[in-house]
Amino acid sequence: MLEGGPLPGDNAAELLYDLNLPLRTHLDVLRKALERAAIEGIYATDVPGSRALFVIDQYGCSQQGLSSQQFNERLQQTVDTALQRAGIAADREDHNINATSLEGAARDPLRVPWANYPLHPVACPV
Protein backbone atom coordinates (compact mmCIF):
# COMPACT_ATOMS: atom_id res chain seq x y z
CA MET A 1 0.00 0.00 0.00
CA LEU A 2 1.39 3.40 -0.98
CA GLU A 3 -0.96 5.47 1.20
CA GLY A 4 1.09 8.32 2.69
CA GLY A 5 4.16 7.33 0.70
CA PRO A 6 6.51 10.02 -0.62
CA LEU A 7 6.17 11.43 -4.12
CA PRO A 8 9.20 11.80 -6.40
CA GLY A 9 11.06 15.06 -5.94
CA ASP A 10 12.88 17.05 -3.31
CA ASN A 11 9.89 18.04 -1.17
CA ALA A 12 9.47 15.41 1.55
CA ALA A 13 6.16 17.02 2.60
CA GLU A 14 4.51 15.91 -0.66
CA LEU A 15 2.84 12.58 0.08
CA LEU A 16 0.60 10.24 -1.88
CA TYR A 17 -2.99 9.88 -0.69
CA ASP A 18 -5.78 7.82 -2.20
CA LEU A 19 -8.86 10.00 -1.96
CA ASN A 20 -11.14 7.28 -3.31
CA LEU A 21 -13.03 9.88 -5.34
CA PRO A 22 -13.84 9.72 -9.03
CA LEU A 23 -11.98 12.25 -11.15
CA ARG A 24 -14.28 15.08 -12.15
CA THR A 25 -13.00 18.04 -14.05
CA HIS A 26 -14.59 21.39 -14.62
CA LEU A 27 -12.60 22.43 -17.68
CA ASP A 28 -15.69 24.17 -19.02
CA VAL A 29 -15.69 26.44 -15.95
CA LEU A 30 -11.94 27.04 -16.30
CA ARG A 31 -12.30 27.83 -20.01
CA LYS A 32 -15.08 30.34 -19.36
CA ALA A 33 -13.14 31.93 -16.48
CA LEU A 34 -10.01 32.37 -18.60
CA GLU A 35 -12.02 33.92 -21.44
CA ARG A 36 -13.90 36.30 -19.14
CA ALA A 37 -10.73 37.35 -17.29
CA ALA A 38 -9.05 38.12 -20.61
CA ILE A 39 -11.83 40.65 -21.25
CA GLU A 40 -12.70 41.87 -17.75
CA GLY A 41 -9.28 41.50 -16.09
CA ILE A 42 -10.70 39.75 -13.02
CA TYR A 43 -13.20 36.92 -12.95
CA ALA A 44 -14.33 34.66 -10.12
CA THR A 45 -17.01 32.00 -9.99
CA ASP A 46 -18.22 29.20 -7.81
CA VAL A 47 -17.31 25.63 -8.75
CA PRO A 48 -19.39 22.59 -7.77
CA GLY A 49 -18.32 21.13 -4.45
CA SER A 50 -18.25 24.35 -2.39
CA ARG A 51 -15.24 25.69 -4.23
CA ALA A 52 -14.42 28.93 -6.00
CA LEU A 53 -12.10 29.81 -8.87
CA PHE A 54 -10.42 33.20 -9.25
CA VAL A 55 -8.65 34.20 -12.46
CA ILE A 56 -6.69 37.40 -12.93
CA ASP A 57 -5.44 38.27 -16.40
CA GLN A 58 -2.79 40.99 -16.31
CA TYR A 59 -3.46 41.99 -19.92
CA GLY A 60 -7.21 42.16 -19.29
CA CYS A 61 -6.58 44.37 -16.24
CA SER A 62 -4.33 46.59 -18.31
CA GLN A 63 -7.02 46.97 -21.00
CA GLN A 64 -9.50 47.97 -18.29
CA GLY A 65 -7.11 50.72 -17.16
CA LEU A 66 -7.55 49.82 -13.51
CA SER A 67 -5.63 51.77 -10.90
CA SER A 68 -4.16 49.80 -8.00
CA GLN A 69 -7.05 50.87 -5.79
CA GLN A 70 -9.66 49.98 -8.41
CA PHE A 71 -7.99 46.60 -8.96
CA ASN A 72 -8.00 45.81 -5.23
CA GLU A 73 -11.64 46.89 -4.84
CA ARG A 74 -12.84 44.92 -7.86
CA LEU A 75 -10.85 41.85 -6.81
CA GLN A 76 -12.27 41.93 -3.28
CA GLN A 77 -15.84 42.39 -4.52
CA THR A 78 -15.51 39.68 -7.17
CA VAL A 79 -13.94 37.18 -4.78
CA ASP A 80 -16.46 37.90 -2.01
CA THR A 81 -19.34 37.29 -4.43
CA ALA A 82 -17.85 34.00 -5.66
CA LEU A 83 -17.19 32.79 -2.11
CA GLN A 84 -20.74 33.63 -1.09
CA ARG A 85 -22.18 31.80 -4.11
CA ALA A 86 -19.96 28.79 -3.32
CA GLY A 87 -21.26 28.73 0.25
CA ILE A 88 -17.82 29.38 1.69
CA ALA A 89 -18.04 31.38 4.90
CA ALA A 90 -16.27 34.70 4.58
CA ASP A 91 -15.57 34.78 8.32
CA ARG A 92 -13.86 31.37 8.33
CA GLU A 93 -10.86 31.99 6.07
CA ASP A 94 -8.72 29.77 8.28
CA HIS A 95 -10.76 26.79 6.96
CA ASN A 96 -10.30 27.69 3.31
CA ILE A 97 -7.55 26.13 1.20
CA ASN A 98 -5.93 28.32 -1.45
CA ALA A 99 -3.64 27.32 -4.30
CA THR A 100 -1.88 29.22 -7.03
CA SER A 101 -1.23 27.39 -10.27
CA LEU A 102 1.42 28.62 -12.64
CA GLU A 103 2.68 26.81 -15.72
CA GLY A 104 5.85 25.12 -14.52
CA ALA A 105 6.01 22.01 -16.68
CA ALA A 106 9.35 23.10 -18.15
CA ARG A 107 10.83 22.96 -14.66
CA ASP A 108 8.85 20.09 -13.15
CA PRO A 109 8.39 16.75 -14.94
CA LEU A 110 5.44 15.89 -12.65
CA ARG A 111 3.31 18.74 -14.01
CA VAL A 112 1.23 18.61 -17.16
CA PRO A 113 1.84 21.58 -19.49
CA TRP A 114 -1.13 23.95 -19.81
CA ALA A 115 -0.99 23.39 -23.57
CA ASN A 116 -2.27 19.83 -23.01
CA TYR A 117 -5.60 21.13 -21.74
CA PRO A 118 -8.43 21.74 -24.24
CA LEU A 119 -8.27 25.51 -23.83
CA HIS A 120 -7.72 28.40 -26.22
CA PRO A 121 -4.02 28.65 -27.15
CA VAL A 122 -3.83 32.20 -25.82
CA ALA A 123 -4.69 30.87 -22.36
CA CYS A 124 -1.92 28.24 -22.50
CA PRO A 125 1.53 29.78 -21.96
CA VAL A 126 4.44 28.19 -23.76
**φ, ψ for residue 43, nearest 5 deg:** -145, 135
CB atoms within 10 A of CB 43: 21
Residues 33-81 pLDDT 10s: 989 998 999 999 999 888 888 888 888 888 988 889 999 999 999 988 9
pTM of the complete model: 0.62
pLDDT tens digits, one per residue of 82-106: 888 888 866 665 556 666 665 555 5
Rounded Cα distance, 124 and 115, in Å: 5
CB atoms within 10 A of CB 82: 20
Domain residue ranges in the chain: 26-89
pLDDT at residue number 49: 83
Banded model confidence at residue 126, pLDDT cuts 50, 70, 90: very low
- Between 1 and 9, residue with greater pLDDT: 9
- Better-scored residue on pLDDT, 81 or 25: 81
Q: Which helix (H) or strand (E) holds 36?
A: helix 27-40
